[in-house]
Structure 1
Amino acid sequence: MGVSSRTWSVSELLSGLRDRAERSGRRLIDLGQGAPVDPTPELVTAELAAAADWPGYPPAQGIEEVRTAYCRWAARRWGTHLSATDVVTTVGSKEFIATLPWLMGLSRSDLVAIPELAYPTYAAGAHLAGCRVVATPPDIGALDAIRPRLLWLNTPGNPTGESLTAVQLTEIVAWARERGITVVSDECYIELTPPGPPATSILSPEVNGGRFDNLVAVHSLSKRSNMAGYRIGFASGDPKFLAQLQQSRRDAGLIAAGPIQRAAVKALADDDHVFRLQQQYAERRAVLRTGLTAVGWQVQHSEAGLFIWATAGESDAKTSARLADLGILVAPGGFYGSTGDQHVRLSLTASLTDLVEVGARLLAAEQ
């Protein structure tokens, strides 16, 4: 396990740009980070309060009620048939992503494949375990040339908002099974899609044929229920793989708090707040997209998730600095991979009023 001087945190990366935006003399509009700002559902906060008296330790795998609630949620979304033994609760999804290569026992001889444009924690976790890392598109030809031990997918993706199709996922699953490769699909944004049919999951029977061998899906309540501060997520899929992993997780004390798990039961059982959130983000996405395209920017993908992925046809450093001078904070795209160095990521975790104001400031600056 090594220590790196690389910046893995977007908040750390943005500190200089934040200072510049605050010196602009304009009211700061923060589109740099993807932390939810809308209220946690009342049914969740009420259950948390009701469950607060919890003097003992919760089960390491998670209480049965929350794992069962997760299975029912997956069945509603994709017709997936999971049992509670196929599910592990996590302390949010980030800790699972960061610790997985280490807990799998991977080392410097092992290769971990991550998305070409990606949330940095996939690489950070591999680095902590001493693994080699390669960034690659989700293409069978490219993957076959490298043969990783662990393959990370992210759908819908951060930063791009691109969702993998059922055809793409099916091909990857078949390829990985033939070679004994573990595929872990980070799907923490999977319910932040436009209102309508859900995005395809690696848990979808059409993708996996009703079997979970070699497959793990990672989900979180941070974004779909505005529960980022609760730190609760789930890993599900290959029961043999998860059972072995859970022994190490238990020994490391990676256990979600009991009252939080009780609150998560309520969140998973309720779809109405999610549908309202989908509509809210769809409205925000449309407003911000309109403001960007009005000044000639190109918006790419961005159909799901919390972000707009866009380019003004110049370097990410120039764009992010130019916006900071307008009091607008955004994340430079190169932070997520070298192919993003002419893009910026803009978060939708802002009010409609602020997103309209972003468009107005950009338009005024062009005149």
Structure 2
Amino acid sequence: MGFHTFASPYDWSRIASYKRTAKAAFGGMIDLSVGSPVDPVPESVRSALANAANDPNAYGYPTTVGTADLQAAIAEWFCDSRGVDLAAINAAVVPTVGSKEAVALMASLLHFGEGDVIVQPAISYPTYEIGTQLAGARVLKVADVADVDSWRNMPGVKAVWVNSPCNPTGDMLSVEQMAGIVAAARDIGAVVLSDECYALMTWNAPATPAPCALDARVCGGTADGVLVLYSLSKQSNMAGYRTAFIAGDAALIHPMADYRKQIGQIIPGPVQAAMAAGLRDRQATRTQHDRYRERLGVLVSALRAYGYATNMPDGALYVWVRAKSGDCWKDMAALAEIGIIASPGEFYGAPEYLRFSATASDQAIADAAERLAH
């Protein structure tokens, strides 16, 4: 496998000077940059963690693919929350130590390398590109992965990254668009890598999850050539627990799990129990969903008042706006003067945009709205 070098503008130290300015502003800094949860971990999760602290899966080495209970919880979650029967489509599951390492290691664990091409959206989560570079493969950025003609005839395409709802834009693909991507990828023998970490964070009414790449309407009733990623970081405020999983084509998942065992990429035993509890606590997930919807609504209205042209996103936890100056760094400087820190669009491939996160507290969002209104 081996790691190759990588290059990326995605470096949070680049906003350190803006944070210093923001901290000196009246009232101090309001950080709307990193999408890190601030709300409590559900009581069900904390209880499960404590109760499992002396289980065999805690004092002994934990299982790489998760306990039988965790595997059952993931299957139940897919059935109840995504309308997907994993067994019926021959899908397997492996837990991951958060979704970021799953993204970063994906190309390497699938044995992609020199001469291989991995497609991704031009505006996207930076770790897709970094993971491709680490594997020694080549990145192909396209404006819209649902425009399959932009990549299906390119030599060497081995995989296609899909992110719906999208970080940072909030855009969401339809069932038809997802099905078109899967069909085109299968035609050329490529794998669909569908990052669905914000699948339950959608803002239509009534709220319905984003389409899943393993939905029979998308995959045609078989998981062949399709892998889906999901994380509990946002739905259950478990970012620090590092709880996520990859589900899909069993022929791809099983060898991936073998590699993960050898390199020690295994979720600790008590955390596996906490993860199962988080997946089953649907009320806590709904409560968190409603918190984020309220915060996004306040933030969108405030950014409009400040002069940004924006609407409620389709999904995810961010408001994506075109910089008023046309340059994210100039807008970052102006916002820092009133104590507000956004995320520069250059991190995601669009230096003329900014991303504002709704993962701050209710009070922080309210304070930001007041500053933006003046």
Normalising by structure 1, report the TM-score: 0.94
- The question of 1:306 aligning with 2:317 is answered yes
- How far is 1:300 from its partner? 5.5
| Inter-partner Cα distance in structure 1 for 2:276 and 2:258 | 24
Aligned to 1:102: 108
| Inter-partner Cα distance in structure 1 for 2:365 and 2:243 | 29
- How far is 1:40 from its partner? 0.3
| Inter-partner Cα distance in structure 1 for 2:117 and 2:312 | 28
- The question of 1:193 aligning with 2:202 is answered yes
Aligned to 1:63: 67
**SS of the residue 1:207 aligns to:** helix
Aligned to 1:226: 237
Q: Give the counterpart of 1:347 among 357, 360, 364.
A: 357
- How far is 1:85 from its partner? 6.5
How far does the alpha carbon of each residue in 1:138-189 deviate from its partner, in whole angstroms, 9 at most, with x for none? 1111122425212111111111111111111010011111111001101111
Aligned to 1:160: 169
- How far is 1:254 from its partner? 1.0
Cα separation, partners in 2 of 1:208 and 1:6, compared to 1, 3 Å: closer
- The question of 1:317 aligning with 2:323 is answered no
| Inter-partner Cα distance in structure 2 for 1:105 and 1:47 | 36
How far does the alpha carbon of each residue in 1:227-276 deviate from its partner, in whole angstroms, 9 at most, with x for none? 00001111001011111222211111111111000111111111111111
Aligned to 1:174: 183
Task: Tell whether the 8 Å contact from 1:63 to 1:261 is kept in structure 2 after alignment.
Answer: yes
Task: Tell whether the 8 Å contact from 2:91 to 2:248 is kept in structure 1 after alignment.
Answer: no
Aligned to 1:274: 285
| Inter-partner Cα distance in structure 2 for 1:277 and 1:257 | 25
How far does the alpha carbon of each residue in 1:170-229 deviate from its partner, in whole angstroms, 9 at most, with x for none? 100111111110011011111112352211111212111221000000001111110000
Amino acid at match of 1:168: Q
Amino acid at match of 1:326: I
Aligned to 1:39: 40
**SS of the residue 2:47 aligns to:** helix
RMSD, aligned CA: 1.6
Q: Give the counterpart of 1:284 among 271, 292, 295.
A: 295
Task: Tell whether the 8 Å contact from 1:78 to 1:205 is kept in structure 2 after alignment.
Answer: no
- The question of 1:3 aligning with 2:10 is answered no
| Inter-partner Cα distance in structure 2 for 1:176 and 1:113 | 10
| Inter-partner Cα distance in structure 2 for 1:91 and 1:358 | 33
Aligned to 2:340: 328
Q: Give the counterpart of 1:76 among 60, 66, 80.
A: 80
Aligned to 2:215: 204
Q: Give the counterpart of 1:264 among 272, 275, 282.
A: 275
- How far is 1:295 from its partner? 2.9
- How far is 1:25 from its partner? 4.1
| Inter-partner Cα distance in structure 1 for 2:15 and 2:214 | 35
Q: Residues 109-124 of structure 1: matches in 2 within 5 Å?
A: 109-124=115-130
Amino acid at match of 1:20: T
- How far is 1:303 from its partner? 2.2
Cα separation, partners in 2 of 1:213 and 1:96, compared to 1, 3 Å: same
**SS of the residue 2:329 aligns to:** helix
| Inter-partner Cα distance in structure 2 for 1:316 and 1:310 | 10
Aligned to 1:24: 25
Cα separation, partners in 2 of 1:247 and 1:233, compared to 1, 3 Å: same
Task: Tell whether the 8 Å contact from 2:297 to 2:312 is kept in structure 1 after alignment.
Answer: no
Task: Tell whether the 8 Å contact from 1:192 to 1:278 is kept in structure 2 after alignment.
Answer: yes
| Inter-partner Cα distance in structure 2 for 1:4 and 1:184 | 20
Percent identity of the aligned residues?
36
**SS of the residue 1:280 aligns to:** helix
| Inter-partner Cα distance in structure 2 for 1:57 and 1:327 | 47
- The question of 1:356 aligning with 2:366 is answered yes
Cα separation, partners in 2 of 1:310 and 1:186, compared to 1, 3 Å: same
Task: Tell whether the 8 Å contact from 2:296 to 2:312 is kept in structure 1 after alignment.
Answer: no
| Inter-partner Cα distance in structure 2 for 1:301 and 1:165 | 18
**SS of the residue 2:227 aligns to:** strand
- How far is 1:115 from its partner? 1.5
Amino acid at match of 1:94: K
Aligned residues: 361
- How far is 1:288 from its partner? 0.7
- How far is 1:82 from its partner? 0.8
Task: Tell whether the 8 Å contact from 1:62 to 1:261 is kept in structure 2 after alignment.
Answer: yes
Cα separation, partners in 2 of 1:125 and 1:353, compared to 1, 3 Å: same
Q: Residues 124-135 of structure 1: matches in 2 within 5 Å?
A: 124-135=130-141
| Inter-partner Cα distance in structure 1 for 2:353 and 2:8 | 20
Amino acid at match of 2:193: V
| Inter-partner Cα distance in structure 2 for 1:320 and 1:207 | 40
Normalising by structure 2, report the TM-score: 0.92
Task: Tell whether the 8 Å contact from 1:296 to 1:312 is kept in structure 2 after alignment.
Answer: no
Cα separation, partners in 2 of 1:33 and 1:114, compared to 1, 3 Å: same
Cα separation, partners in 2 of 1:85 and 1:363, compared to 1, 3 Å: closer
